[in-house]
Structure formats: C-alpha cells, structure tokens
Structure 1
Amino acid sequence: MTNLTDIRRQTFEALRPPAKRPLSDWVEENVRLPSSIAAQPGALRLWPHQRAIADSIGDPAVERVSVLKSARIGYTQLLVAALGHYAVNDPGPVLCVLPAEADCRHLMTGAIEPTFAESPALRQALKADTTERDTMLSRYFPGGSLAIVSANAPRNLRARTARILFLDEVDGFEVDARGEGDPVALAEKRTLSYGNRKIVLGSTPVDEETSRVCRAYEKSDQRIYECPCPHCDDPHEIKWVDIRWDADKPESAHWVCPSCGCVTEESGKSAMIRAGAWRATKPDVKGHHGYRINALVSLLPNAAWSKLVAEFLEAKRSPTTLKAFTTTLLAEPWRSDGDEIDTAALSSRQRPHDLQNIPEDSLILTAGCDLQDDRIEMTTAAWTRDNDIRVLAHEIVWGSPLEDATWTELDDLLTRHWQHPGGGILRIDAAVIDSGHHADQVYGFTRARTSRRIVAGKGVPGFARPSLSWGNSRKTRLALLGVDGLKLAIHQRLNHGDTITVSDSLGQDYLDQLAAERLVTKYRKGHPVRIWEKISGRRNEALDCLGYAIAARQLVGINLESRESELSQRQVAPKSTVARSRFLDN
C-alpha cells in the first residue's frame, strides 16, 4: 500500500525541474562580498567543503538539506548566496526563519543587503515593497518574494506560504509557551502545497536530548567530510580527539592520523583539507542530504588549530564556556551527565570567606535580590579576574515590600563598603532586583538608583536567551533575565570544577536551596523540551538570588587592571551614607 511519504516523493519527482549547472559554479561567478563583511572582499570563492553543500541546496532532485555545523565555516555567506540563486535563477516564495527578531534584522542589513549591493547579478534582485508594513524584512522580486521572520512568534509562520524554506540556528528556536507547537514543524507546514519544495535546515547543536539539527541529520544520508592523511592516504574525518599539542603550548597543535599515527603540522592543514571529500554514511537515504562539519576543517585564520587549542585551554576552566566551545566550534551536542546538583558534594565548595573576609582575588561585587510577601532576600557575590564567583553572603530583610522601612533597610545593605585585603575599598558595583512581585515598588526603588547600576529585573524563559538584555519600557530601565540559562550555568559550575565557592558561614539550608531545581525533559506536541522543575519541599530563593547576581555582572564594564590598582592602595573607609529618594519618603 502506498503511504503518504511515497505519494509526496512521487509528486516531488514529477514536478522537479531538469538539472541545471551546479550552484557552486554560479555562486563563484556571480556573488561578490563587500569589505564590510569579508576579510577578503571580492568574488566569493567557496572552500571544498562548501561546494557540495551549495550544490545540494541548488539541486532540484534534493528536497531537504540538513547541516550540523560549527561556527567559522562560512555558512552565513553560503546561505546568502543561495538566497541570491533563488531570487535570480529559480524564483518563488522564499521564507527564512531565524531564532529572534534581532537575528532577522542582522541577516538582512548586515549580510543580504551588502552582498546583493556588491554583486552586479543580484543588485536589482530585491526591492523594498512599499505596501508592506515592515519593508525591511519583506522583499519582492519577479516571480517570487523573500520574507525573513522570527521563530518566536507563531503568527509569523501562520501568515506565510513558501516553496523554499531556510531554517537557521534551529536549536535556538523556542517552543511557544501557549502550546502552538514546534516552530520547525509549523514552518514546514507552510511548504506543503508545493510538490517541488526545498527545505534547508542548519544549526550549531546545543543539548543532545533536544537538538533539532541532530535529529534532522540522523534522518539524512549523514555525510562526513574526510581528508586524506598526507602520509598513508587513508581518509578521515578531522576530530578533536586527534588534535594534539605539547602541554601549555597551543602553538604546537597538530593532527595525528588514526591509521598510521603520523603527524600533520598546521602548515600541512590547508593542502589536506583541500584534498578532502564528502562521503555519505547512509547512501540508501534519497532526497535528504545531511552534512556534519566542524571548525577544524575551516581555513579561516581564526580557525587555525593552534587558535582553537588556545580557546579550548581557556574554555575548559568552566563547564559553561566548555559547552560553548564544544557546541559552536566542534559541532558536537552537549551531553549532560546529571540534571541535579549533588547536595552532599556542595559542602566541598565552602570556603572561609564572607563579607568581613573578602578573598584577595575579588575585584567586583554584585548583588541579586528576590522579593517575597514578607521579606527581601539578597545574595552578594564577588568576582575574580577570571570571572570565578565567590558567594560571600545571603541576607534577609524582613518586612513587607509595601512598607518604606523594608526598602530603607535594603538600601542600607546596598550602600555598604568593605576593606579589601589589598588595602582598597570594595562596594557593591551592581544589583538586580526581581520585579516579578510588587513590580511598582521595585520600579520606584530602582528608578532613582540606575546610576549606581541598581536595576529591576524580570525573568524570561528560553535557554537561548542572553543572561541580561533590556526591555522596551520607557517608564523604567528593566533588565530581561534569561533565567533558564542562568540556572543552567549555576548547575554546570557547581557540578564541575571550582569556579563557584560558597561562604562556610552559609548553612545546609542555603546549599539545599541552590539545588532546589532540576532539569527535566518533557514533550510538547511530540517535541522534547527541557524545563526546570522545582524539587518538592525545597525553597529556591537562594538559587534565584545567585542567578540575579550573576546577571548583574553584565552591568559592570570597568577596567580590571585599574580596579586591581585601586584595591592595592590603602584607603580609609568613608562613613556610610544612605542614598534616599522621594520613593522612600512617601
């Protein structure tokens, strides 16, 4: 019995146009890069690993292309060139979906417009449509159109149909909280009316359990880029495990052949990469080309093996930075080895430091405050030059946030100063106060203290969210906090290494609160989603406060060398003063 997939395949085969010249040839002849976005402006010259991807995107016999990629491989330039091809050679409705609105604007103004303006063959391809409300992200060309939309708003996808669909950084897409479904599935539905559709999906991976690009790659013919060893000629995929270097000498980085054990130095990298070729590990899969590629094969100067090793040596100090290195440069999904914090092991993180015994390596102090109906809780954290965190105190101001006296006492805490071991004076450099409860009171308190980097904060869901960004409110300076990512960073730091230490003056209850939530995978409309789940019987104010204190670090942009110099000079502690505003007098 013929199923729906077979019918779609037959329809696709019947409607596909005859094969044309390879897209890679057309790109190199017609696409030019401006100096504003390319280190080597002029005609776009594709690397060997880019040519096959380009040809798959332009091949009418291929319905889907999935690219599991790293950064620094020229994917954005390739995407822009492919958009140019469809605007000029194979017009139709084109939809490009990116994680956020800012990504859409950057792609259009920072990549598409400059490249099209520089390329004579593309210069007249797109024009602004003055009848559209948002002309910047919606353009028309003879026989087709281009729309660039954010995956954050499902309405962006419902209002479009497309024959050509580009999905970029899909692991950064967030599932709509209202349950409208996975953005990738919603976008693909917009192509169902076209039997000759093209779907190009690419992304750096994030978490193994929820990675969309990994799932897409697994359904493809799973191509890998293999390079012949200059010594034995055996082809191999260049992997991180085969990159070696002398201890603490990243400049000695080299590749060791898994077959013969011979060494290829950095100087031989270019020739080896240029001699490489793609191999489909699942050749029985038809119509779906999948590519897996990492920065080790990139020929960009900033992807030299020695530079990548130097970045690894810096990144491995913290699980947070190690995850970024693993996912964005090695194109490997992050494999979590535990979704809960071992509370018994947390006591090993305690150190004899507090507000009266500030560690000598402390350079910055930040605070995070969480409001409850009968109290305000505040965590004070010190930061080192390497951004290690020393939790010095967790204090409670008892009293209703509706009472002025409660805020007066909080202000007293925020205006304190302490003698640094080097002789200088440390004060709280920045603070974030959660406005989820009693927002009006929080705004009234922070509005007069913005110059002291004391701001209101509001948590927003989504692991792809930055730890701190700014809201659009004109009434107050509101920090939008990526709380999912902040909690993940805390978990990773506490489960690995010693980049967070905790004052030994804080008891077991505080440690239990740090471990009050666990990361679980649940399914929404059949798609895996990672969410934080509060462990029954535990309070989580300490976890929240530490997250806000970490976000507050983004508010401090001081020169660390100058701060070190200041703290090394003996100063007399000034008398404490309380900065009062009219809010406190009401």
Structure 2
Amino acid sequence: MSLLQGVDPLQLTAVANSLRKGMAAWGAQEPKTLEWWARDNFYLSAESSYVEQHWTPWSFQRGLLALMSHDDVPCVSVKKSARVGYTKMLLAAIGYNAEHRRRNQCIWRPTDDDASSFVKADLDPMLRDVECMRSVFPAYLARHKDNTLDQKKFIGSLLRIKGGKAAKNYRDMSIDCGYMDELSAFDNDVEKEGAPDTLAFKRLEGATFPKFVCGSTPKQKGECLIDKRWVSADERFTYQVSCPQCHQRHALTWGGKDEAHGFKFDPENPADVFHMCPHCTYPLRQSEFLALADQGEWVNERGDLYWREVESDRWAFTTADGQIVPPPYHVAVHVWTAYSPMVAWTTVVREFLDAYAKLLEGDNTKMKAWVNTTQGVVWEGEVERTEAEELKNRAEPFSLRHIPRDCLLLLAGADTQDNRIELGVWGLGRGGQMWTIDHRVFFGNPAQQEVWDETEEFLRTQEYTHACGRPQRIFATAIDSGGHHTDAVYAFAHKLKALRVHAIKGASGTERSIDNGNTRVGYKWNGRSEKHGPILWHVGTNLAKDRFQARLEVVAPGPGYVHFSNQCSDEWFKQLAGEARATVRGRGGTATRWTPDRKRVEVKDCVTYAIWLEERLDLWSPRRAKWWDQLEAQVQPEDDLFTAVPPAVSDSRETTHPTRSVGEVADSRGTLPTSREEEALGSDRWSSRL
C-alpha cells in the first residue's frame, strides 16, 4: 500500500512546489556566459529604451559583455561616447551576477540623485521585466527593507546603489563586483580621501573573482578620470573590421581634413560620407561596415593581441595567429558613436558641422560636447605640448656621462617609485643652457635600506669628465618625498644635507613661485625618530615646467637652449614629452596645469626638480656673475685651475645650516662627492623595465 494513498493530489503538488522553492538557493545552474544570459533573459524596458523588446547585443557589444564576465580580467575600463549601450550592458551584468552567479555587487553613480534616478528609470524596470530575476528577488514589487533606493537584497547576494560624492559611500562593504557609471563626472578627490575609482576598488579586496568595471564619456584633458584609467591600462583595445579591398584590419576613427584616413565628406553634401581605410584608402560606406561588423575583432594598440571568440561562446586573448596567451590585469576599450547601428554616419557629420560653425563664432561648447559624447575622446581645449619625435629629432651627437665644454654645473632630480629610485642628472651653463648628462635607475623597494645605500654611494662617488679633462661631481640634488616613502626620503635628505640633498614636494593650492616655501619636518625611519629633520621644500611644479617648456622653444644653441644626446632612448623622450598644459574650467574659474597623458613621466619629473634647484640656489641673480666666472675659469685649458672645485652657492633663504659665500670652496677636501654606475638611460633594459 502506498504511503501517499488517500492524500489529496493538490496537497502533494503544493508540497512539491514548496520544496522546489526552498531548495532553489542551493541549486547550481548550468554555466552560462553573460552574453547568452542576456540573449535568453534581458529585456529593454519602456522607461529606458526607444523600443521595448528582448535584447540582442550588437557586434562590438559581444566582446564587451565577454570582458565584463571574464573572471581572469579584474579591471575593465570603457572610454566611450553616448549611444553605445554601456548602461544596458551594466544592467545585464548586474542581473547576471545576481541571478546566475549570486555575487555581491555595488554600483556607484556621480551623485545621490544620479543613483536614485538610475534605480527608478533603469534598475527597477529591469527587475520588473526580466522574468528570471523574480526567482532571486521576491520583494521586486513590495515596499520592503530588501527593496529600497540604495540596496536590493537578492537570494544569495546583495546589490548596493551609491552616490559618489561622500566618502562614507565607499566604506563598510565587501563586494565581488563593482561598477562605476559616468566615472568622469565624479569628483577627482572624494572629500580629500582620494580618487573615487581607487576608493571603490578597495571594496573588492579579498574577493575570489574581483570584477571592477568603469565606464564614462570623457571630459577635459588632464582632469578626466576615465582617460587616466585608459592611459594606465595594461592593454588598450579598439573594435576593428577588415577592409573589403586590402583585407587589413582597422578601427573607425574620425581622422581629419589633413589626415589620409578616417571620415571623409563634402560639407555641402554630408550624406555622402565614407570612412577611408588607413592602409589602402578604400572608401568604406556605412552599409558595408554594418555587413562586416559581425566579423570584426577587438585588437590592441600594437596590433599583436586579440580579444576574440576562439570557440562557440568562449572568448580568449590570443596572438594574431590564434595562440592563446594569459589575460592582462587591466583592459581598456574605446568605442564611439560611429559603431552604433542606430546612428547614421550622416547624423554624426551634421552634428560636427553644426558644432564647427559655432566654434568659428568663438563658441566652443557644442564642439566640446561633440568631442566628448560623439567621438568619445577628451576635450583638450587650449593645450600646450611638445611631441617626443620633435625632441628626438633635435638630439645631438654627444655622449652621455661626459660634460660638454659650456656646461659648468651638475644638478640632479630624483623620483621615488614603489620598486625603484630614478635620478636624472642635468648640466647647466650660463643663461640657463642645459644638457642631458645621465639618468640612473636604482631598483629596489624604497621601504628597504639597500636601495638608499646604492643611491647614496652614487651621490658620494660618481664623477663625470668635463670636455677640458677635469672631473666634476653633482653639486645639488632634489628628491621628491611624495608617494608611499615620505619618511625614507626625509631620512635620506637629512643624512646627506652636506651634499645639498633636498627633500621636496609639489606645492598644493596656488603656486606663488617655483620655490614655493618650506616647512621643517620630522620622521621615523628604521626604528629611529627624528623630531628636527630636514626642511621640506615646496615646489611650484607647474611654474617649473613652464620654465622648462620655454627653454624647449629656444631654437638656437646659447642661453636657454636645451641640448639632448642622441644616446637617449625612445622611452626617455616619450617620458620627457609625456605631459600637456591644458586649460581647465572649474568652480573657481579658469586654470591651467601640466597633466600626464601617459603612465610614466619620471624623466619629466626629474628635470622639473632640477629646475627647482636652480631657483632655490638663486643661480641667475646678478650677484652670481662672479661665481659663474669662477666656474668658467676652472674649465679653461690654462694654468692649474683644473684642480679647483666649484664654489659653494650662498643660500641666504635656508637658515638652518650656515652656507658659504660666493667664491668659497665647497668642500675643503676637494671636489664634491659622487657614485658608482647603475643603469644608463639609453640602455634597452632601462626603457623596457616594469
């Protein structure tokens, strides 16, 4: 006899349904990628879409969805225009990680109002219309503590929605997935606690598979957070299609009237627009592009790394010939309006022509909006820059580590990084004429004493031979104390004060001058406390870089001219030219400042500190004329002046240590100290190091 004999079948069905529902939290779904989860489940809601319907991702979106769900790529940055579906992809990722992967998540938007608007217009409609979400979000229609404007509690996970203005919104949470929408609209420094993307990423520490996705339309050059992430990424990708004629891949670019690729059109007939292939000048029409889009692939800047579908529903990073390689840690992608099948290229051109007409009238607001939201790149405004190739082309055939005839004094600037100390040596002559002399890298953790011992040995013992045959040593050094090793720099400067080693830091706020004041500091280093440590000198870095830029514009050798050795590496020149001075309009009005447009600019930093030294030492005061005469006399090929030493520079502004007057010997024992060789700036190892 059956145990269930006589039991009402309706009751059995109810019990089975209850058991099924109760056990659902322990169920494991068949693995599925974000793309196919979205194809099967995602829905375009009426509140946030032109057309209410099930969603099919566009060609370029497939790779982005694969990146957003790839567990081995922790960081993804999307520099984009408007109208490419980024917010829709974020919504799909949120639903996927809540329903399919059960991972804790947080999304930040620039303000609390932005966060609330996102919930009302985008998130809540998605939770309502994507049916599978109801299985993990029982409170989707209820007024409940699990369903509020700042959090959604799912079965097995939690989603937080935060504004980006308050530092408290980056605390007290541990998440697996973090998203930032419109990152460039966030404050660059959140309540003086740091950059918003840095604060947000800290919330993922300890996650088994951390995923951090940032996206934004760009804004002003130098101040744009998404552009900074683009620059610092390990690899940068664009979506590329094959040319129908030459079959070589290329991305869609705007180009320009003086460039032999990109969009071409007649201003009188913007409907006749095409994209010219950079390889063979084939005129690609939008209809042809849309036909080729499904065969496109994501390719990095160098053209040697692909993000592609290697098998059905399996994506990987490969070489050009298909060999799978390990994924980068931080991947950045750029996509703009021209890729969208919903926007006609004619519309893109018409919007540009309208903005350009206003620009000719002196109104740049429409052009700025077009550059940011249609082209998806930063607005540079009034930008002053020097190109690396320009500097390299004016390099001269003289050897590094040898002092040319008119060079009379050696100054060094040093920069600390987490795994090295970099030191640039520059030569100075009358009137501010400058020469590249040396650039050294001392590898090691500045939190350990060993790397400081190597740097000290260099400053104490290194000699350079002047063209007259006389050895010369570094006269003074400035070392940056910013970063993670402030106390170590203070201790180093305090120990080597007799060698004129100065601890410096970029001035905050308004810069009054290159030499922007000082404070006395104490430090703790290697178990030792020093209450009366060195003076910390504040550097007006923008003003110092302005002076160097002005010298770069001097076209003939002589006072103010900067001489470069042709032994300097390509990387050295790129770092020297790695910043631009851009006009920034903020709440306090218009200001300009030098900002990096690449990840590494240590060479530029070192020369900036050397410029500060010449200001601190007051080298161009008329009262220094006799001192320069003495320096010049020491390198003349007559008498026995080669054995003399550079006179000390009187420093009336530094009252903590008595200094010698002009004409006195710097060191009664002879020439100033120097150091052993480490690594030349012209070497392959230097230019390719991590």
Which TM-score bucket, shorter chain as reference? 0.5 to 0.7
Name the SS of the counterpart of 2:352 in structure 1. helix
1:253 aligns with 2:326: no
Name the SS of the counterpart of 2:67 in structure 1. helix
What is the deviation of 1:225?
Answer: 0.5
Residue 227 of structure 1 is matched in structure 2 by 241
CA distance in structure 1 between the aligned counterparts of 2:595 and 2:70, rounded to whole angstroms: 37
CA distance in structure 1 between the aligned counterparts of 2:204 and 2:45, rounded to whole angstroms: 33
What is the deviation of 1:157?
Answer: 1.4
1:322 aligns with 2:374: no
Name the SS of the counterpart of 1:26 in structure 2. helix
1:295 aligns with 2:337: yes
Residue 306 of structure 1 is matched in structure 2 by 346
Residue 273 of structure 1 is matched in structure 2 by 293
- Quick check: 1:48–1:277 contact (8 Å CA) kept in 2? no
Residue 520 of structure 1 is matched in structure 2 by 593
Using CA pairs under 8 Å that are at least 6 residues apart, name the structure with larger relative contact order, 1 or 2. Answer: 1
- Quick check: 2:72–2:327 contact (8 Å CA) kept in 1? no
Listed as ranges, the matches of 1:429-468 within 5 Å are none
- Quick check: 2:222–2:595 contact (8 Å CA) kept in 1? no
Name the SS of the counterpart of 2:153 in structure 1. strand
Cα separation, partners in 2 of 1:178 and 1:260, compared to 1, 3 Å:
closer
Aligned AA for 1:228?
S
Gaps in structure 2 of 5+ consecutive residues: 1-27, 256-261, 306-325, 385-587, 600-690
Gaps in structure 1 of 5+ consecutive residues: 1-16, 340-514, 527-586
Aligned AA for 1:333?
V
Name the SS of the counterpart of 1:136 in structure 2. coil
Listed as ranges, the matches of 1:90-109 within 5 Å are 90-109=101-120
What is the deviation of 1:40?
Answer: 3.3
1:65 aligns with 2:76: yes
CA distance in structure 2 between the aligned counterparts of 1:175 and 1:36, rounded to whole angstroms: 31
Name the SS of the counterpart of 2:244 in structure 1. coil
Cα separation, partners in 2 of 1:217 and 1:19, compared to 1, 3 Å:
farther
- Quick check: 1:31–1:121 contact (8 Å CA) kept in 2? no
1:137 aligns with 2:150: yes
Cα separation, partners in 2 of 1:247 and 1:170, compared to 1, 3 Å:
same
Cα separation, partners in 2 of 1:172 and 1:516, compared to 1, 3 Å:
closer
What is the deviation of 1:50?
Answer: 0.5
Aligned AA for 1:61?
D
- Quick check: 2:241–2:292 contact (8 Å CA) kept in 1? yes
What is the deviation of 1:76?
Answer: 0.9
- Quick check: 1:18–1:60 contact (8 Å CA) kept in 2? no
Aligned AA for 1:238?
L
- Quick check: 1:162–1:190 contact (8 Å CA) kept in 2? yes
CA distance in structure 1 between the aligned counterparts of 2:30 and 2:238, rounded to whole angstroms: 24
What is the deviation of 1:295?
Answer: 0.9
1:114 aligns with 2:156: no
CA distance in structure 1 between the aligned counterparts of 2:192 and 2:374, rounded to whole angstroms: 33
* 1:170-197 deviations in Å (ceiling 9; x for gaps): 1111145741222211111111132421
- Quick check: 1:163–1:198 contact (8 Å CA) kept in 2? yes
What is the deviation of 1:152?
Answer: 0.8
Which of 225, 232, 236 matches 1:212? Answer: 225
- Give percent identity, aligned residues only: 24
Name the SS of the counterpart of 2:371 in structure 1. helix
- TM-score normalised by L of structure 1: 0.53
1:174 aligns with 2:194: no
- Quick check: 2:107–2:160 contact (8 Å CA) kept in 1? yes
* 1:482-541 deviations in Å (ceiling 9; x for gaps): xxxxxxxxxxxxxxxxxxxxxxxxxxxxxxxxx995333699xx9xxxxxxxxxxxxxxx
Cα separation, partners in 2 of 1:288 and 1:518, compared to 1, 3 Å:
closer
Cα separation, partners in 2 of 1:67 and 1:220, compared to 1, 3 Å:
farther
CA distance in structure 2 between the aligned counterparts of 1:133 and 1:271, rounded to whole angstroms: 46
- TM-score normalised by L of structure 2: 0.45
CA distance in structure 1 between the aligned counterparts of 2:266 and 2:353, rounded to whole angstroms: 12
Equivalent pairs, count: 332
CA distance in structure 2 between the aligned counterparts of 1:516 and 1:97, rounded to whole angstroms: 28
What is the deviation of 1:212?
Answer: 2.0
Cα separation, partners in 2 of 1:176 and 1:332, compared to 1, 3 Å:
closer
What is the deviation of 1:18?
Answer: 13
Cα separation, partners in 2 of 1:314 and 1:132, compared to 1, 3 Å:
same
Residue 184 of structure 1 is matched in structure 2 by 197
* 1:98-142 deviations in Å (ceiling 9; x for gaps): 111222122211112212212211234443696759812211001
- Quick check: 1:164–1:199 contact (8 Å CA) kept in 2? yes
Name the SS of the counterpart of 1:96 in structure 2. strand
1:198 aligns with 2:211: yes
- Quick check: 1:254–1:265 contact (8 Å CA) kept in 2? yes
Listed as ranges, the matches of 1:271-420 within 5 Å are 271-281=291-301, 283=305, 286-300=328-342, 303-316=343-356, 317=358, 318-338=363-383
Which of 30, 45, 49 matches 1:38? Answer: 49
CA distance in structure 1 between the aligned counterparts of 2:329 and 2:190, rounded to whole angstroms: 33
CA distance in structure 1 between the aligned counterparts of 2:95 and 2:29, rounded to whole angstroms: 20
CA distance in structure 2 between the aligned counterparts of 1:39 and 1:326, rounded to whole angstroms: 24
* 1:227-257 deviations in Å (ceiling 9; x for gaps): 1122322211000111111123221221112
CA distance in structure 2 between the aligned counterparts of 1:108 and 1:226, rounded to whole angstroms: 34
- Quick check: 1:163–1:191 contact (8 Å CA) kept in 2? yes
Name the SS of the counterpart of 1:104 in structure 2. helix
- Quick check: 2:45–2:125 contact (8 Å CA) kept in 1? yes
What is the deviation of 1:280?
Answer: 2.9
* 1:350-405 deviations in Å (ceiling 9; x for gaps): xxxxxxxxxxxxxxxxxxxxxxxxxxxxxxxxxxxxxxxxxxxxxxxxxxxxxxxx
- Quick check: 1:152–1:176 contact (8 Å CA) kept in 2? no
- Quick check: 1:24–1:55 contact (8 Å CA) kept in 2? yes
